[in-house]
């Protein structure tokens, strides 16, 4: 494949060929300020989706208008690399994205200047691992492909 891509796009070096290094899935949980049990449900959902235990993210600074204090649990994230990354990407493209309501494709504006691609999903139930009857609320997530 590398030789074909070098020839097709006239790359001089094989290291110029774009490659996926990691996928980061972030689930921000604003309701965790009022109820700390919500974070555990988000962690369980993200564990089922990614197949890997997520890291709980903490607030970096206090924001009085949101009743947010420094070091409060406000979300969770997971970084996928190598085989798990490709397994997740395959499930995302083949299973999850076709189940998204009114999916019209991605915008080119989702790319940043460094070649990272970020998009959001409004509900976690598009993944078949999530049982609709067992979730407490519908949560969205941000997916970044680096």
Residue 105 inside a domain? The answer is yes
Residue 12 inside a domain? The answer is no
Helix (H, G, I), strand (E, B) or coil at 121: strand
Residue 34 inside a domain? The answer is yes
Q: What is the mean pLDDT of residues 33-61?
A: 85
CATH number, domain containing residue 25: 3.30.1440.10
Q: What is the pLDDT of residue 78?
A: 96
Residue 53 inside a domain? The answer is yes
Q: What is the mean pLDDT of residues 49-66?
A: 85
Distance CA 80, CA 130 (A): 19
Residue 3 inside a domain? The answer is no
Residue 89 inside a domain? The answer is yes
Q: What is the pLDDT of residue 33?
A: 65
Each residue's pLDDT tens digit, 7-32: 888 889 888 888 899 999 999 887 76
Q: What is the pLDDT of residue 25?
A: 94
Number of domains in the chain: 1
Among candidates 144, 134, 146, 128, which has minimal Cα distance to 27? 144
Residue 9 inside a domain? The answer is no
Residue 8 inside a domain? The answer is no
Q: Which domain holds residue 67?
A: 19-145
């Amino acid at each position: 494949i590398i030789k074909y891509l070098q020839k097709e796009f006239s790359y001089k070096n094989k290291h110029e060929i774009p490659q996926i290094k990691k996928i980061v899935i972030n689930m921000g949980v604003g309701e965790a300020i009022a109820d700390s049990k919500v974070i555990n449900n988000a962690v369980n959902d993200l564990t089922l989706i990614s197949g890997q235990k997520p890291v709980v993210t903490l607030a970096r600074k206090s924001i009085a208008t949101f009743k947010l204090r420094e070091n409060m649990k406000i979300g969770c994230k997971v970084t996928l690399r190598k085989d798990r990354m490709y397994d997740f990407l395959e499930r995302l493209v083949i299973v999850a994205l076709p189940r998204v309501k009114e999916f019209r494709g991605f915008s080119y504006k989702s790319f940043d200047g460094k070649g990272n691609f970020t998009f959001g999903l409004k509900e976690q139930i598009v993944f078949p691992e999530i049982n609709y009857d067992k979730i407490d609320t519908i949560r969205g997530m941000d997916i970044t492909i680096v």
